[in-house]
Amino acid sequence: MTIKAEIISVGTEILLGEILNSDAQIISSALSELGINLYYQTVVGDNYERLSEVLKTALSRSDIIILTGGLGPTYDDITKKTAADALNLRLIEDNDVLKRIQAYFDKKNIEMTPNNKLQALIPQGAKVLQNDWGTAPGIMIEYNKQKIFMLPGPPYECENMLKNRLIPILKEQSDGIIKSKFIRVFGIGESAVEYLLRDIMANAQNPTAAPYAKDGEALVRITAKAADEKEADKLLEPLETEIIKRLGTNVYGINCASLEDQAAELLKKSRLTVSCAESCTGGLLAERLTSISGASNFFPGSIVSYTEEIKNNILKVKKETIETFGVVSLQTAQEMALQASITFKTDIGIGITGYAGPSAPSENDLGHIFVCVYFKKRYSAKELRLIGNRNKVRRLASSWALKLLIDILKENNLPNKIP
């Protein structure tokens, strides 16, 4: 039998467009990984009548109902009251919950105002899902053969309650386990990935493969259902191998979080150091590399050389190079990479120069960027023609730099000799 789920997000702030409904996304994603079918997401305001109506509809069609938001201490937090009424349950003050809330305030050395007691009201017979990330506990009600969950709305609390309370309960009732792996791809688009894997995606039942696009990158999620982890790994392995074979060096990592995450990991392993000389990306590449904790192990520093004068005076890029080949040229990018490695005494130097827009000498120059990585007296370079607004172009250029760096670190792509 197919388990049918739906999400009801309670919060006028979502209907006013003040916040994105990110809770619904992370819950949806988790349900999808568990193989539970989510058929509806509904957002409704902090309004008793409308929430009652939405809840009644949900109870008529879904096995699992997950409500988020409206569990807090203020008068417009009505989720528990509305749900209890819909199910004909009384709300009862739970002593343990009340103690936990009191302890939370004591620890923070703040006086607890009386309205916080409302958070300790629990529908009769419901299970309390302990909230270690805030004050309002989550709730699970089993009603006939349906399960109604309530999770706090603040994303940090919601995500932790989902991972640590809801998912374990939902897993328990499903047979076996579901395991996913993420194959991260850069250099070809989602549609190209889809094309290359079309027969796999069409035929695969278990494990399955699904491509995604995100921030100019592609991602393939492969998922297996099995009795245990070992069996799941056995199912995933041949599919993973086949996908990597087809996508080639466009695959830059498995289960890593991002290009910078993978680059940092490889830099730490190889004990090599890196520095950058950035023009149009204005510090974005350095920012991404240093966003990884422990970056000081491989990253001593970096320069943003936005003008020709700085490229020339501080970075020591030769005047002739800029005059002969232009400030946006392979040669300038190469010298920037080399000079970064000299200035900061690093094994690897990365240079980026180009026009991120919206202004450029001509329309043809818009998005024209050179990225170059220097390593062991050799260079790996890429000429880019990027389309998009300033921020998108800058992001893609820095992503290409990270991809070239990763390829070198993997020795997939040994740099060419100095020209």
Q: Choose, by CB under 8 A, the member of 1, 2, 18, 411 that binds its own copies.
A: 18
Which region holds residue 294: left if phi is over 0, alpha if psi is between -120 and 50, else beta? left
Q: Does 258 bind its own copies (CB under 8 A)?
A: no
* Binding of residue 293 to its own copies (CB under 8 A): yes
Cβ(63)–Cβ(146) under 8 Å? Answer: yes
Question: How far apart are CB 291 and its own copies at their closest, in Å?
Answer: 6
Q: Which of 48, 50, 132, 324 binds its own copies (CB under 8 A)?
A: 50
Sheet holding 274-278, edge to edge: 274-278, 348-354, 368-375, 378-385, 416-417
Which CB, 331 or 343, lies closer to its own copies? 343
Among 88, 205, 296, 362, contact with its own copies (rule: CB under 8 A): 296
> Do the Cβ atoms of 406 and 259 come closer than 8 Å?
yes
Q: Is 65 in the site for its own copies (CB under 8 A)?
A: no
> Is 202 in contact with 254 (CB distance < 8 Å)?
no
Is the distance from CB of 25 to CB of 19 less than 8 angstroms?
A: no
Per CB under 8 A, the segment of 90-98, 225-233, 289-297, 365-373 that binds its own copies is 289-297
364 binds its own copies (CB under 8 A): no
Cβ-based nearer residue to its own copies, 11 or 415 = 11
Is residue 116 at the binding interface for its own copies, with CB under 8 A as the rule?
Answer: no
Residue 333 in the binding site for its own copies (CB under 8 A):
no
Site for its own copies in 207-226 (CB under 8 A): 212
Structure tokens at 384: 């880019």
Q: Using CA of residue 190, residue 196, residue 200, residue 203, what is the dihedral sign? A: positive
Selected binder of its own copies within 21, 131, 135, 353 (CB under 8 A) = 21
Contact with its own copies (CB under 8 A) among 263, 286, 322, 327: 286
Q: Nearest approach, Cβ of 407 to its own copies (angstroms)? A: 22
From the CB of 20, what's the least distance to its own copies, in Å? Answer: 5
Q: Which stretch binds its own copies (CB under 8 A): 110-118, 354-362, 379-387, 409-417?
A: 354-362
Integer Cα distance of 285 and 283 in angstroms: 6
For 208-245, give the DSSP string: EEEEEEETTEEEEEEEEEESSHHHHHHHHHHHHHHHHH
- For residue 310, state whether it binds its own copies (rule: CB under 8 A): yes
Q: How far is the CB of 175 from its own copies (least distance, A)?
A: 21
CA distances from 315 to 194, 263, 265, 355 (A): 43, 24, 28, 19
For its own copies, the binding residues in 146-205 under the rule CB under 8 A are: none
Alpha carbon separation from 150 to 79, 123, 299 (Å, rounded): 8, 11, 45
Cβ atoms < 10 Å from Cβ of 384 = 16
Residues of this chain that interact with its own copies (CB under 8 A) are: 14-22, 24-32, 38-45, 47, 50, 54, 57, 212, 278, 281-287, 289-291, 293-296, 299-307, 309-310, 314, 343-344, 357-359, 390-391, 394
